Amino acid sequence: MVLLLSALFFCVSISTVSAFDSPGITINADGTVQGTSDIQRSGDSYTLTTDLAGPLRVERDGIIIDAAGHTIVGAQGRGVVLAGRHGVTLKNAYVTLDGGYVIDVENANNCTISGSTLEGTPKPIPGLPTPPTLIGPIGINFLHSQGIIVKDNVIRNFSYALSLDWSSGHTIMGNTFVDGIVGIDMTNTTGCLFRNNQMVNSGFGMQLYDTYKYDNDLDASNTIDGKPIYYWLNHKGETVPQGAAYVVLVNCVNMTVKELSPRGTC
């Protein structure tokens, strides 16, 4: 059973086309780089030597991409595309995008994203009255992926920082999610480890729906605006500590939850 602490629900529309229509850059399956001469290759290591106009699409497995602190400006609804990849590491990047997926790891496995900043550049939602309602991109799209490591990153100005729907086995550690709508979104997400992640100024720190599987290891080192998340599996006859930012009870019975003002839905 997933305890529903709020019935609040919303629908987010994500633009998948950027006004900046860059042809982008591709690391091809044979290891060659198309679209720029500003990526140095040494074996299976690729290092940026300047800022790039993306999107950066990766079609080769088992490589390391070191952005060396440089910026990748996304376009066409994508910043860095690792969809379908195995064993790719992206590190030390600053990736910006207005709408879509800043990093896309759909159908990927055993990839790593570390030490990077992913920043949305929010745009108004068309048709709404002034003042405009701004909406940013999805930070990382995990759909149907497995075993992705996301460590020591900052994600800012997002609609969803992490969209973990229908994926499993990820390690999410030491990340900071700032200024967005949903920090962590999960639907049928299992086998993931969450440690020391901070969500700051998110309208919904987390978002889950009932009837799906949520067997994950998420402890109170994960916080929303400095308050702990209590994500308990298979507990019986216990009382959730006061001061929680968010409570998830999976397969729990005879639990007590009181005097809480949680952020978001559960």
What is the Cβ-side half-sphere exposure of residue 258, based on CA atoms within 13 angstroms? 4
* Domain range annotation of the chain: 25-217
pLDDT score of 214: 87
Digitized pLDDT (tens) for each residue of the chain, 266 residues in all: 333 333 333 333 333 333 345 679 999 999 999 999 999 999 999 999 999 999 999 999 999 999 999 999 999 999 999 999 999 999 999 999 999 999 999 999 999 999 999 999 877 667 766 655 567 899 999 999 999 999 999 999 999 999 999 999 999 999 999 998 899 999 999 999 999 999 999 888 898 887 788 899 999 999 999 999 999 988 988 888 888 888 988 888 988 888 776 554 44
Q: What is the CATH number of domain 25-217?
A: 2.160.20
pLDDT score of 174: 98
pLDDT tens-digit profile of 43-57? Answer: 999 999 999 999 999
For the chain, give the number of residues.
266
Give pTM, 2 decimals: 0.87
pLDDT score of 129: 64
Query: Measured between alpha carbons, how far is 179 from 106 in angstroms, rounded to an integer?
Result: 24
**Pairing of the two strands 154-163 and 138-141:** parallel
Tokens (6 digits) for 251? 């397969």
pLDDT tens-digit profile of 203-231? Answer: 888 988 877 888 999 999 999 999 999 99
Query: Measured between alpha carbons, how far is 215 from 143 in angstroms, rounded to an integer?
Result: 17
What is the Cβ-side half-sphere exposure of residue 136, based on CA atoms within 13 angstroms? 30
If DSSP codes are grouped into helix, strand and coil, which group holds residue 7? coil
Tokens (6 digits) for 190? 């299992």
Closest CA to 263 of 215, 211, 220, 200: 200
pLDDT score of 5: 36
Residues facing 52 on adjacent strands: 72
pLDDT score of 124: 67
* 102: amino acid identity, one letter: V
Closest CA to 3 of 223, 224, 193, 214: 214
Residue carrying structure tokens 């030597």: 49
